[in-house]
Amino acid sequence: MITGASAGVGRAAAQQFARSGADVALLARNGDALDKARAEVESYGRRALAIPVDVSDADAVEGAAFAIESHLGPIDVWVNNAMVTVFSPVALLQADEVRRVTEVTYLGTVNGTLAALRRMLPRDRGVIVQVGSALAYRSIPLQAPYCGAKAAIRGFTDSLRTELLHAGSRVRVTMVQMPALNTPQFDWCRTRLSRKPQPVPPIFEPDVAARALVWASRHKRREVFVGASTLAAIWGNRIAAPLLDRYLARAAYDAQLADEPIEPDRPDNLWRTVPGDRGAYGRFSDRASNSSRELWLTTHRSLLLYVCAVGAGLACIAAARLSGR
């Protein structure tokens, strides 16, 4: 079950789960794009169910969960991915905009998590995957509502994880912290900037995020970090937050602005979906990487430990032979 499945990371994740042999339920507001996403899942020979839903509506999410289990069976994996954002200095934000970003990005995750738990806890199995961000640890200028929502998701998830451990539950929750991604959101998010918004480089294709989500759903990891830039942001904030504040104050404004000016009649998806199907990818494919060394190291940790152990053993043997001479 994937929220925000009509575009971007959610769209790529739906395809990746289908490739791996899963039936997929898709939730988002854009019914036309959902139908295209459903057809993509079915093209891999898997069953799919598309339900237009605004995840900020808890009753609608609960109703969708009931419909999913009625049509496809028990939900094994629930991916909370839906989001909206506003690019704006804090001083220019409107209260209803902040509330809307919070309701979709944070409370949408809460609503999805609660609906999943109502089904998974009695069965004592299932995985909840929260789509996080480096911004859950290190906020940047011009996206305060989104940064706040992602940080709130991390706090909520940490509390839930400890409660599941306390109860001895086999239901598992994990959070995948994402880097900058080449998704369509930069073409339809609300913005008060004079130029088009863009992700802060380095940029990764949504397929990288999708592979991380599938892997996280099948391996016991507390968190999965995608991209060296994600780790750099997290550790930089832990080690030298004041210095990072000053660096972002100088560099993070222009880094989020493309050269193209904003069209005066540009629609946004804050309150209602933008018509049409944008698919999984944004306009930055010429600058986006389809691989992540950090993700590879994460997903091959056992192999790396084995290689290190063999290397240490060989070193010990060599040292023993030298000492015996």
Catalytic residue among 106, 137, 146, 281: 146
Q: What whole-number distance in Å separates Cα of residue 63 and Cα of residue 53?
A: 9
Active site residue 146: yes
Q: Are the C-beta atoms of 169 and 125 separated by less than 8 Å?
A: no
Q: Which of 109, 54, 233 has its CA nearest to residue 117?
A: 109
Q: What whole-number distance in Å separates Cα of residue 7 and Cα of residue 187?
A: 12
Beta strands 195-197 and 257-261 are antiparallel
Distance between start and end Cα atoms, the chain:
64
Quickly count: other Cβ atoms within 10 Å of residue 290's Cβ.
12
Bridge partner residues of 177 (DSSP): 132, 225
Q: What whole-number distance in Å separates Cα of residue 292 and Cα of residue 298?
A: 10
Alpha helices in the chain (DSSP H): 8-19, 31-42, 58-72, 95-101, 107-123, 144-167, 185-188, 206-218, 228-255, 293-299, 301-323
- Count of alpha carbons within 13 Å of 101, Cβ hemisphere only? 24
Task: Give the CA radius of gyration of the chain.
Answer: 21
Q: Which of 56, 109, 281 has its CA nearest to residue 185?
A: 281
Residues tagged active-site:
146
